[in-house]
Each structure stands twice: as structure tokens, then as C-alpha cells.
Amino acid sequence: MKAVKNYKFWFCTGSQDLYGDECLKKVAKHSQIIVEELNKSRVLPFEVVWKPTLITNELIRKTFNEANTDEECAGVITWMHTFSPAKSWILGLQEYRKPLLHLHTQFNEEIPYDTIDMDFMNENQAAHGDREYGHIVSRMGIERKVVMGHWSDRKVQERIASWMRTAIGVIESSHVRVMRVADNMRNVAVTEGDKVEAQLKFGWEVDTYPVNEIAEAVGAVSESDTNALVDEYYDKYEILLEGRDPAEFRRHVAVQAQIEIGFERFLEEKNYQAIVTHFGDLGALKQLPGLAIQRLEEKGYGFGAEGDWKVAAMVRIMKLMTSGMKDAKGTSMLEDYTYNLVKGKEGILQAHMLEICPSIAEGPISIKCQPLSMGDREDPARLVFTSKEGPGIATSLIDLGTRFRLIINEVDCKKVEKPMPKLPVATNFWEPKPNLYTGAEAWILAGGAHHTAFSYDLTSEQMVDWADAMGIESVVIDADTTIRNFKNELRWNAAVYR
Ligand code: MN
């Protein structure tokens, strides 16, 4: 599976010709130094490309339109070094269609008390130039990120880096194609949704294939290809026979290996990056895809269970947003399963029938074959593990009939107190913020689903910015959430998003 493109971000500095050539030379020099230093910092996940200073309507319009058509450009960073009359920006901004960051910085860090004069003041006036520019972007109602601080400050660089990943989520969203090889589970409400509206809002293509078409692709995978992958599994994972006959066990695992190869070939050939399955609609497949889906998720595919295409697309996008991240801890579909309500030990055990991505695993990963309590197929092989500790976010995109809402809950992942030797599935365990009680009450009031797209490597700020860029409502449940304020926020949002 391909990682994201070699994206770049353009750095556009605003000014005007009122100050004379000498000053404009310094403006260009300063912005070049900032771009060089940002690239040298190694904090930013993508390269910043310096662009000549923007001083006229024509050049601004031309530059934004070039950014639109340049396939490698994932966004523009703007900064008004001096005063740039903002009417010059109207046409360019009107025609611009990619993510926009307003970096509110200035070249010098400290006021040069001993030498400051009016020339210096005229050359270093982002404090008012950026306000003029910010005014027009607000008046035009354009979504953008504003980051304030000195460009050399690591915190500022980290915020730019974090926005860059959001921008990738925005740019890549319209390239997400979800393959449904099953419809949504009968009678279930929260996994449903308006696929046309999803394409209008997010750019997602959500298509259906008869399950037996993909089952045929699975059947076409040769025994030697299958056996080679089974050998790889046996090298990589612990085999937990639990009393089963080794040859019979291996045959069960081989079914999943064949599914992994067959599914991946089918998805690649037809250019899909996310998939949904349904345990009740498996056609000629001998087992519910378990281990196979877990491996595909680890390779970067989105996944949603029981036909949940919204979760499949969100998992894919969140994996793209974290693509290439150093020390990434993982991103997966999860499901709220069961609670621990013991005081001081509260939390939600996260799992699914099978399909949790091993990118979130910590410690050994083993293969088990166990009966599935639902459906009518062979006992599927699956990867079993527990997950990493630390903060993460759980997200749920729901369709409210007239609009989408993204619910984001900050959570703390923990180790469970004791092993769970009889539970044959991968798990995570977390305590939602601000605590289990308020977190779960707020989630339910917001209409959040039981399936989530979860990541250790993204923040609620990034997902809110992503939702803003998509023009949809988002709500965050975090350490500051109280039920009274949260209910009011939902009421106010209902008035705004109609
Ligand atoms: Mn489920």
C-alpha cells in the first residue's frame, strides 16, 4: 500500500511596494531564512517551499491558482511580514481550494531596544500586517488555521507540523475509496448514512461489490502463495494451539492467508483503500476475515465492521494523517464492548469480534482459532494482543439525517489489571476523559457510535481542524467537559449546522 505522496507546503510572504526595494529585499531574505530554518528543524513532516513575496493582486491570484493545480502542494502557509493591503488578497483567496495556515510570527524575537527606529518598525510589522490579512480571511468566511509565535520556537514548529498532518487528511480525503462487500447490518442505525452526502462533504467514493466477486479472487490465490504467507505468520506470531490439532490449526490459518492475499489483490486492482465486511454476508468465504483484515489494516487500509463504511473511511484518513510519523503508536477501528465499573479502576474494554489493527499492539502477538459466537462459518484465525498505554483519541462520525457530526473523545489507555486468558480477541482498555461517567454520558448525548476510529498519534485539535475544513460539526469530550455545557454546545451547534 502506497504511503502519502511527497507533499510540500508553500510559504507565501505578504508585503507591498510602498516600502521600496531595499525593504522588500529584506522581506524576501527574512522569509527565506525562516523557510530554511523550518526545514532544518526536522520537526516538520513535510518540506516547506519558499515563494517570492506577494505584493500585487495579480501575483497573489496566480500563486494561489498554481497551488491549486500543483499535485504535490498540500497547502499554503501565509505570513504578512509587513503591511499588505488585504483587498489584494480577495481574488486569490476566493479561488484557493486547499488548506491554509496563517503563521502569525515576526522575524525578530526581541524588540531591539537600543537600536529600534522607524525604519525597523516599518520593516517588522506583522503585528498589524497580519491583523489586516486576518480580517479579510475572516470576512470571507474562509477556514484556516492560525498559529502564533516565533518561528524558531519548537512549540510553534510542532503546531505547524501538526497542522500539516491535518492538511494531509483534508487533501487525501477526496482520494479515499471504500469497497463494501456487504451492506450494513440489518436494523442497525448508527452504521448507516448518506453516501451521496459523504461524497459531497468528504469526497469519499463508497461502492458495493457482490461478496462472491471478492470470494472468487480469494479462491484464485495459489496454494504456494498461501503457504508462503502462512510460513511468514508462523515466523512472526506466537501460535496458540490451545489443544487443537496442529495440522487442522494450520489449515484454518491458511484460510486467512488466502483471504489476505485475495483481498489485497482485489483492492489494489480496483483502487480501493478501505473495506467493510459483515459476518452475516460472507458468500463463499469460509471464515469471517479476521487475521486477514488485521494485517490489511496494519498495511494502511481502512476497515469498518458490519458494513460500517464511515468508520472504514475515517480509519483510512487517520492512518494517512499519521503516515511516516516517527514512533507512531498506532491507529485502528475499535468497539466499545464492556465496562469496568469498580471505583478507581473505571474504563471501557475495547475489542471487536476480530478485526483490531496490530499497529496498536504492545507485547507478543499470537494467533488463535476460536469459534465465532455469531454467523455460521469455520472458526476464524485471528491475532490476539493487548495494546499500548497512553493518551489517544476515539472518534465517531455520525449521520444525523441533515448533517454529519464528528465526536472526539480524549481517552487514557491503560493496562487491564489481570490477563484475560479466555478472551480470544485483541483488546485495548481506556478511561475516557474527563472520567468514565461524564465521558460516556456526553458520548451518548452526542449520539456517538459503538464503533470508533481510534489513534494514539493524533490530537482532538487536529480532528476538529479536519472537521472544520470539511464544513461539518465536531464536538470534543475532554478534561474540561461538563454535561451542562456539553448539552448547550449541542443545542447551539444545532442552530449553526442545519
Ligand atoms: Mn461491531
How far, in Å, is the centroid of ligand 1 from the Cα of 244?
A: 27
pLDDT of residue 1: 61
Q: What is the mean predicted confidence (pLDDT) over 41-49?
A: 97
Contacts of 245 (CB under 8 A, 6+ apart): none
pLDDT of residue 50: 98
How far, in Å, is the centroid of ligand 1 from the Cα of 214?
A: 21
The amino acid occupying position 275 is I
pLDDT tens string 449-493: 999 999 999 999 999 999 999 999 999 999 999 999 999 999 999
- Residue 445 parent element (H or E): helix 436-446
How far, in Å, is the centroid of ligand 1 from the Cα of 356?
A: 11
Q: Whole-number mean pLDDT of the chain?
A: 96
How far, in Å, is the centroid of ligand 1 from the Cα of 291?
A: 16
How far, in Å, is the centroid of ligand 1 from the Cα of 445?
A: 20
pLDDT of residue 2: 60
Contact 388, 317 (CB under 8 A): no
How far, in Å, is the centroid of ligand 1 from the Cα of 306?
A: 6
Rg, C-alpha atoms of the chain: 25
How far, in Å, is the centroid of ligand 1 from the Cα of 351?
A: 9
Lowest mean pLDDT among 65-74, 241-250, 336-345, 366-375: 366-375
How far, in Å, is the centroid of ligand 1 from the Cα of 307?
A: 9
10 Å CB burial of residue 364 (0-12, 13-18, 19+) is exposed
How far, in Å, is the centroid of ligand 1 from the Cα of 305?
A: 5
How far, in Å, is the centroid of ligand 1 from the Cα of 218?
A: 23
Contacts of 19 (CB under 8 A, 6+ apart): 27, 82, 122, 123
Per-chain residues with Cβ under 5 A from ion ligand 1: 305-306, 335
pLDDT tens string 53-103: 999 999 999 999 999 999 999 999 999 999 899 999 999 999 999 999 999
In this predicted structure, the answer to whether residue 373 has a pLDDT above a threshold of 80 is no
- Residue 382 parent element (H or E): strand 381-387
Neighbours of 471 (CB within 10 A): 13
pLDDT tens string 255-309: 999 999 999 999 999 999 999 999 999 999 999 999 999 999 999 999 999 999 9
How far, in Å, is the centroid of ligand 1 from the Cα of 354?
A: 10
CATH of domain 8-173: 3.40.50.10940
In this predicted structure, the answer to whether residue 375 has a pLDDT above a threshold of 80 is no
How far is Cα 356 from Cα 424, in angstroms, rounded to an integer?
12
Contact 38, 160 (CB under 8 A): yes
pLDDT of residue 3: 67
Domain map of the chain by residue range? 8-173, 177-496
Q: For residues 274, 279, 281 and 283, what is the CA-based torsion angle, rounded to 10 degrees? A: 90
pLDDT of residue 193: 97
How far is Cα 314 from Cα 326, in angstroms, rounded to an integer?
21
How far, in Å, is the centroid of ligand 1 from the Cα of 348?
A: 15
Find, among 295, 147, 154, the residue nearest to 229 by Cα.
Answer: 295
What angle (nearest 5°) sits at the alpha carbon of residue 56, between those of residues 51 and 59? 45
How far, in Å, is the centroid of ligand 1 from the Cα of 118?
A: 66
How far, in Å, is the centroid of ligand 1 from the Cα of 172?
A: 26
Contacts of 492 (CB under 8 A, 6+ apart): none
- Of 124 and 229, the structure prediction assigns the larger pLDDT to 229
Integer angstrom CA distances of residue 290 from 6, 33, 400, 466:
32, 51, 30, 30
pLDDT of residue 377: 86
> Half-sphere exposure of residue 69, counting CA atoms within 13 Å on the CB side?
5
pLDDT of residue 208: 97
Q: What is the mean predicted confidence (pLDDT) over 188-217?
A: 97
264-270: Cβ within 8 A, 24+ apart: 264/296, 264/299, 265/217, 265/221, 266/179, 266/213, 266/214, 266/217, 267/179, 267/296, 267/301, 270/179, 270/209
Q: What is the mean predicted confidence (pLDDT) over 156-182?
A: 97
How far, in Å, is the centroid of ligand 1 from the Cα of 177?
A: 21
How far, in Å, is the centroid of ligand 1 from the Cα of 334?
A: 8
How far, in Å, is the centroid of ligand 1 from the Cα of 185?
A: 9
How far is Cα 117 from Cα 137, in angstroms, rounded to an integer?
31
How far is Cα 12 from Cα 31, in angstroms, rounded to an integer?
8
How far is Cα 343 from Cα 418, in angstroms, rounded to an integer?
16
Query: Cα 459 to the chain's mean position, in Å?
Result: 9
Could you tell me the end-to-end alpha-carbon distance of the chain, in angstroms, rounded to an integer?
38
How far, in Å, is the centroid of ligand 1 from the Cα of 361?
A: 19
How far, in Å, is the centroid of ligand 1 from the Cα of 316?
A: 17
How far, in Å, is the centroid of ligand 1 from the Cα of 286?
A: 20
| Largest Cα–Cα separation, the chain | 86
How far, in Å, is the centroid of ligand 1 from the Cα of 352?
A: 6
At residue 223, φ and ψ (nearest 5 deg) are: -65, -35
